[in-house]
C-alpha cells in the first residue's frame, strides 16, 4: 500500500535531516522527487544519490520558502519538469536561539513565521489547487510538539507551528475530497539542529519528559511519512500524528 510508483514528491528542507530521509524513502518506493532547500549544492548532491541508488528522476531546486515569490517559482519549476506534484511535504523550518523573549527582534520574528508558516501556506494553496483540479494528492506538514507544549526559548516557532496545525485542518477541508492534508507533529530528533542543544536538554528534558527516554533518529520519520503519502492513509485527512517519543 506504500507503493509510490508514478508519483512525484516535492520536499522542502529536503537536503538534510528529516527531509533527506523522506526524499530517499519516497524514491525507494518508486516516486520521482523534487528536492528544495536554500542550499542548491546540497540538493544537487542528494539528487545524484537518488538517481544512483533508486533510478528515480530527481530535480534539485534552491528555494527560501519564507519568500512568497520563491515559493511560486518553486511550484512553476516543479510543474515545468514533471507536469504534476502528487505529494507535497512542508518540512523546511527554523527556530533561531534567543536569550529571552524581550530580545526577539522583528526581523527574527518575521523570518521564523515566514519559513514555518507563510511558505507552507503559499505552497499548499498553489499546489493543493493544482492537485484538486487534477488527480488529487497528499500534503504533509511537519509540525512540532512545541505547538502544544511551548517552551520560553521557542515562542515564535511554537506559535508558527500551532498555526501550521490549524492550517492542516483548514486545507484538508478546502481541498477535500481528492486532496488529503495531514501533519506529523515531531518531537526532538537527532538532526543538525540538535547539535546546538545544551547538554541539559538531552540529559534532563529528553530523558525525563519522553516515555521512550531518548531523541528520535531521522530515519524514524519514514514510516509516518510513507503512511501519509500513500494509499495506506486513504481515509485520513486533517489529522495531526504525534511522533515525539511520548513527550509530556
Catalytic residues: 157
DSSP string, 153-205: GGHHHHHHHHHHHHHHHHHHHHHTTTEEEEEEEE--B-SGGGGGS-HHIIIII
For residue 186, give the nearest of 152, 226, 158, 155 by alpha carbon: 158
Q: Give the torsion sign (CA, 218, 220, 225, 231).
A: positive
Judging by DSSP bridges, how do beta strands 8-12 and 32-37 pair with one another?
parallel
Provide φ and ψ at 12, rounded to 5°.
Answer: -85, 155
Q: Distance (Å, rounded) from C-alpha 224 to C-alpha 184? A: 7
Amino acid at each position: 500500500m506504500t507503493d509510490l510508483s508514478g508519483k512525484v514528491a516535492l520536499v522542502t528542507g529536503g537536503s538534510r535531516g528529516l527531509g533527506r530521509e523522506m526524499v530517499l524513502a519516497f524514491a525507494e518506493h518508486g516516486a520521482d522527487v523534487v528536492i528544495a532547500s536554500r542550499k542548491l549544492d546540497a540538493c544537487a548532491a542528494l539528487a545524484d544519490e537518488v538517481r544512483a541508488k533508486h533510478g528515480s528522476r530527481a530535480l534539485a531546486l534552491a528555494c527560501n520558502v519564507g519568500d512568497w515569490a520563491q515559493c511560486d517559482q518553486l511550484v512553476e519549476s516543479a510543474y515545468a519538469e514533471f507536469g504534476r506534484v502528487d505529494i507535497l511535504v512542508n518540512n523546511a523550518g527554523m527556530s533561531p536561539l534567543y536569550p529571552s523573549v524581550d530580545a526577539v527582534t522583528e526581523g527574527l520574528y518575521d523570518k521564523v513565521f515566514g519559513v514555518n508558516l507563510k511558505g507552507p501556506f503559499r505552497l499548499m494553496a498553489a499546489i493543493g489547487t493544482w492537485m484538486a483540479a487534477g488527480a488529487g494528492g497528499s500534503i504533509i506538514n511537519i509540525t512540532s510538539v512545541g505547538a502544544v507544549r511551548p517552551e520560553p526559548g521557542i515562542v515564535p516557532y511554537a506559535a508558527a507551528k500551532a498555526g501550521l496545525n490549524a492550517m492542516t485542518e483548514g486545507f484538508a477541508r478546502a481541498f477535500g475530497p481528492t486532496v488529503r492534508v495531514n501533519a506529523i507533529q515531531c518531537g526532538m530528533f537527532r538532526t543538525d539542529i540538535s547539535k546546538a542543544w545544551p547538554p541539559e536538554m538531552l540529559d534532563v528534558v529528553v530523558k525525563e519528559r519522553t516515555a521512550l527516554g531518548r531523541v528520535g533518529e531521522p530515519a524514524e520519520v519514514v514510516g509516518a511519512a510513507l503512511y501519509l503519502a500513500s494509499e495506506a492513509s486513504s481515509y485520513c485527512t486533517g489529522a495531526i500524528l504525534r511522533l515525539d517519543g511520548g513527550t509530556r
